[in-house]
Amino acid sequence: MTEVAHSMASGAAAASDQGYPWLKHYPADVRWDMKIQPQPLFTLLDRAVSVHGARTCTNFLGKTTTYREIGALVDRAAAGLQKLGVTKGTKVGLFLPNCPTFVIYYYAILKAGGTVVNFNPLYTIDELTYQLKDSDTEIMVTLDLKILFDKVEALLKSGALPRAVVASFPALLPGAKSVLFKLFKGKELSHPKASPAAGKILLDSELMAGGGKPAPVEIDASSDIAVLQYTGGTTGTPKGAMLTHANVYCNVLQVVSWAPELVDGGERVLGVLPFFHVFAMTVVMNFGVAKASEMLIMPRFVLDDALKLIDKGKPTVMPGVPTLFNAILNHPKLKTFDLSSLKFCLSGGAALPLEVKQNFERNTGCKLVEGYGLSETSPVATCNPMNGPVKEGSIGLPLPGTLVSLRDLSDPTREVPHGERGEVCIAGPQVMKGYYKRPAETADQFVGHFLRTGDVAVMDADGFFYIVDRIKDLIICSGYNVYPRRVEEAIYEHPAVEEVTVIGIKDNYRGEAPKAFIKLKAGQSVTAEEMMRHLEVKISKIELPAEIEFRDALPKTMIGKLSKKELKAEEAQRQRAT
């Protein structure tokens, strides 16, 4: 029995011995104590190529590529990377939008023995420089689109980045679209070989020219790092979570096990979320490959384009964030699109309002379930059952082999009694090895072998978990804890509300008080007084917002998750100005 399989089996015994109730309410077709044999992450692709080689792997703006073709390109790219000097542990960055190049080089880096470092294409030069240096990235893979290449060129010229591999964007398009793009959008393309940094640049076509297969690299799945996934930095300096091959591989199979009715080689996954984000990396790209699915890839999210793609491309699986599902529901011409092909939608990244879940299922006939996780858990830790009780506001049950322990907020070594609030602490095969080059911060993040998440939750008698807030988002009003999520859920119950974010602001009387920022649905009108009357019967007086501000739009992260960071910064600036 492998180390991971053994830990999962022993974990089942531990859960049973401690009386954790989720085992009694687990989905009938999913085993919590299932065995997963850890493998190098690229074996997901090798299996799909072997069994479903003729199946379409990527569908990018109408150009399709089979698993066999993608597999051959991965081998050629891996061999080329090895000739560039990539060996076990070499850090190679991906600075790409969603596209086949991302899929090819992700697996090629792993096959060459390297470690993938995901970079956000929207980052500034300063943010990229920090992450390059912190991660020890030696090579960056990007496209010849000016919006990307100009940043890479600046990094090469400054010396922050040693080398870059540049792939052609027009080459990714179907024949006619490729010609038209060069003809009418040529100004959006760069010319890497004419760059002042040309000596540090290798074209993807040159790297691939050697052909052949890479030299085999012996991978220890349990200890070798597959991905350095940087945390968002919303609570401090971004840190590189070291995700081993086993971490990501096991998490993919944990998610696969959660939807046993999906058919290998018979699904289509819609890739709307950005692959560089841990959620899409696992639940869209790696999940799609594990199921030998056709991946309908969007380079960026545009609501109308996404609805047209669902209507015509007939995806069966669509991972997303609540704001994405909410946007679909609020599209004025929703009824003109056929969404009936969808079987399974997984929501993550933020709380899924019950109204959004119910309306989406009513409009599509598709199961929309909420999961929970973070970069440090590869990322999925819990999920609601596909078939089973619908529990309002719950993040569901632990995935197979995963233990969730709620710990005392002032003493994380002590587990809280059932029904009490506690910090979510997670143990399982998907939990990271630690933070790159940060042993002290790694030690602070763990209590025993449990990862501390900073999220506060309660567990009900059936073993379902409910996030009530983040420890650092707590608002202390007159000495009482106020949880922004509770206030947000109450505001969401008003039928005119589309989106809401609640933060804490300074208050002369209470010390801190909640402030709500609200975006209303199109054509709706509500006053602050009317909203307060709505809330007075739903939450306690101490939880009532001191201020309500209506806005046309609320700030969001790259994956569409509502973001508090910008609003907190605005309020801090306002305080300093008064």
pLDDT value at residue 236: 54
How far from chain centre, in Å, is Cα 424?
A: 19
Bridge partners for 277 per DSSP: none
How far from chain centre, in Å, is Cα 283?
A: 8
Give the chain's length.
Answer: 578
Contacts of 111 (CB under 8 A, 6+ apart): 42, 74, 75, 78, 214, 217
| Residue 6 burial class via C-beta count within 10 angstroms: exposed 0-12, middle 13-18, buried 19 and up | exposed
**pLDDT tens per residue, range 260-311:** 999 999 999 999 999 999 999 999 999 999 999 999 999 999 999 999 999 9
What's the order of all strands across the beta sheet hosting 294-297?
63-66, 56-60, 294-297, 268-271
CB 471 within 8 A of CB 454: yes
d(CA 542, CA 31): 44
HSE value, Cβ hemisphere, 13 Å, CA-based, for 456: 19
pLDDT value at residue 19: 64
d(CA 395, CA 467): 7
pLDDT value at residue 510: 73
φ and ψ of 401, to 5 deg: 75, 5
d(CA 94, CA 275): 10
Tokens representing 557?
A: 């992260």
How would you write 388-443 as a 3-class SS string? CCCCCCCCEEECCCCEEEEECCCCCCCECCCCCCEEEEEECCCCCCEECCCHHHHH
* b/e sequence 219-228, b meaning 16+ C-beta within 10 Å: bebbebbbbb
d(CA 424, CA 259): 25
Domains by residue range for the chain, with CATH: 65-219 (3.40.50.980), 477-577 (3.30.300.30)
pLDDT value at residue 10: 41
DSSP 229: E
| 3-state class (DSSP) for residue 159 | coil
Contacts of 319 (CB under 8 A, 6+ apart): 269, 273, 279, 280, 283, 284, 287, 345, 346, 347, 348
Tokens representing 502?
A: 């609640």
Angle between the N-to-C axes of helices 303-313 and 322-329, in degrees from 0 to 180, rounded to the nearest 10: 80
CB 256 within 8 A of CB 291: yes
d(CA 93, CA 140): 4
CB 181 within 8 A of CB 173: yes
Bridge partners for 240 per DSSP: 230
pLDDT value at residue 475: 86
pLDDT value at residue 20: 76
Q: How many CB atoms lie within 10 A of CB 498?
A: 18
pLDDT digit string (tens) for the chain, length 578 residues? 233 443 444 444 444 445 678 998 899 999 999 999 999 999 999 999 999 999 999 999 999 999 999 999 999 999 999 999 999 999 999 999 999 999 999 999 999 999 999 998 988 898 899 999 999 999 999 999 999 999 999 999 999 999 999 999 999 999 998 889 888 888 999 999 999 999 999 999 999 998 889 999 999 999 999 999 998 654 457 899 999 999 999 999 999 999 999 999 999 999 999 999 999 999 999 999 999 999 999 999 999 999 999 999 999 999 998 889 989 999 999 999 999 999 999 998 777 888 889 999 998 899 999 999 999 999 999 999 988 887 888 999 999 999 999 999 989 999 999 889 999 999 999 999 999 999 999 999 999 999 999 999 999 999 999 988 777 787 878 666 687 888 998 999 999 999 999 999 988 767 789 999 999 999 999 999 999 999 998 888 888 999 999 999 999 987 888 999 899 999 988 888 87
pLDDT value at residue 482: 80
Give the dihedral of Cα atoms 78, 252, 276, 92; nearest 10 deg. -30
DSSP 448: T
pLDDT value at residue 329: 93
- Written as one letter, the residue type at 131 is Q
> Residue 133: which of 250, 6, 253, 230 has the closest Cα?
230
| 3-state class (DSSP) for residue 236 | coil
Element (H, E) at 468: strand 465-470
φ and ψ of 548, to 5 deg: -130, 125
Contacts of 97 (CB under 8 A, 6+ apart): 121, 143, 148, 274, 299, 300
Q: What is the DSSP string of 317-335?
A: B--B-HHHHHHHHT-TTGG
pLDDT value at residue 479: 65
